Copies of this chain bind each other. A is one copy, B any other.
Amino acid sequence: MKQEHSQTFPVEAFSRRTARSASSALDRWAVGRIQHAVAGARLRLALWDGFEAPASASAPVATITFKNRRALFSWLWDAELNFGEAYMSGGVDIRGDMVRLLEEIYRAWPDVKRQPWWFRRESHSVRTAKENVHRHYDLGNEFYRLWLDRQMVYTCAYFPTPGLTLEEAQIAKMDLVCRKLNLKPGERVIEAGSGWGSLALFMAKRYGVSVCAFNISAEQIAYARDRAVREGLADRVHFIEDDYRNVTGTYDAFVSVGMLEHVGLSEYHELGSVMNRSLTATGRGLLHFIGRNRPMPLNAWIRKRIFPGAYPPALGEVFERVFEPQNFSVLDVENLRLHYAKTLEHWSGRFEAEAGEVARMFDETFVRAWRLYLAGSQAAFNAGVMQLFQVVFARGDTNAIPWTRASAAAHT
């Protein structure tokens, strides 16, 4: 595992070549440019020789220290990609509150770019999808077990009150999904993208339904099948190692939690077709996904290092491409972005507590990359740069829909 990872994250080890030389006027000019780009953010910028730029705002939440010239100029060249690259490799250090620092940067950053011309052309073939998923979700169940909740739910939790434990909040989330789907005993559910199986098993156990759960991560499927057997649910929960595009059969409910981000815009119509052909006349569905207030590409570093091929869509993109062509009716949308910030806060805390173990499993660069990914995601949800949408839908012509929200409102 460690060797494979080293190929994925080439350590350029800037840190070992830390410039001993004093910073030049050019270096200080570069710092000024960077400070200008995030004007208003409460942060301090420093260089390897102790130089500190005059703080542009009072009470900085953290100090970013460039440990060598290469880190400094790579950020100037392409901050979106190279801040992450430099931090990961040790070319940049952060002292202070990393989440608040990143939130300051998100809020100060000039208005984001629209999608570049090449963006829609990324492949999301069945094969590429499998490779993309493998890169992230097959890092090893042992790794995820270190810092996820006991049930290994790797999506936004739901905190009826903010003080809940992560364990409780993940159960509350699964229950919320089931209530929104109005699941009844004996019904058949299709799940697209089932992670380590927690939702599929929860639905079967608590709501008495049978579930077909599709997933293309081999490690997750193996884990989930094992769990189904151990919990005596193997007869009612079938984990299928296959692409969602190969779903067959008809079901009373379609649910997908945290998969749409990996589907790719080019496949949205196909996803809608799958939903359409797999739902009964009175079937209903729920999509839970990370989204945006408007279309924009995912951060380049996250795409490169963490989630290849991922894209959090704007609601309009989902509605136009997934729902409208099939005449699905949107019944309910809820934005839970602050719940994802809270979830990530839990994950970061648990991850840091196990950072030494993670470094032994992989290496320090991996720890720094994941620290930045978790902190940056929390900051993005806090700053409103990312959203978490739950969308409930049904066929356009069925009146078998909830009269009000009251039926979905009870908490566990």
Contacts and interface: CB of A to CB of B under 8 A. Distances in A.
A409 B403 contact: no
Q: How large is the interface on A (under 10, 10 to 19, 20 to 34, 35 or more residues)?
A: 35 or more
Contact of A324 (B293, B398, B404): B293
Contact of A316 (B162, B320, B382): B320
Contacts of A161: 403
A384 B399 contact: yes
Contacts of A184: none
Copies of this chain, complex-wide, total 2
Contacts of A396: 293, 384
Interface stretch (A58-66, A83-91, A116-124, A329-337): A329-337
Interface string A368-403: 000000000000001110010100000111110101
Most chain B Cβ neighbours within 10 Å, of A162, A316, A399: A316
A248 interface: no
Interface string A313-350: 01111011001110111111111011000000000000
A160 interface: yes
A294 interface: yes
Interface string A170-203: 0000000000000000000000000000000000
Contacts of A25: none
A227 interface: no
Interface of A: 107, 159-162, 293-295, 314-317, 319-320, 323-325, 327-335, 337-338, 382-384, 387, 389, 395-399, 401, 403-406, 409
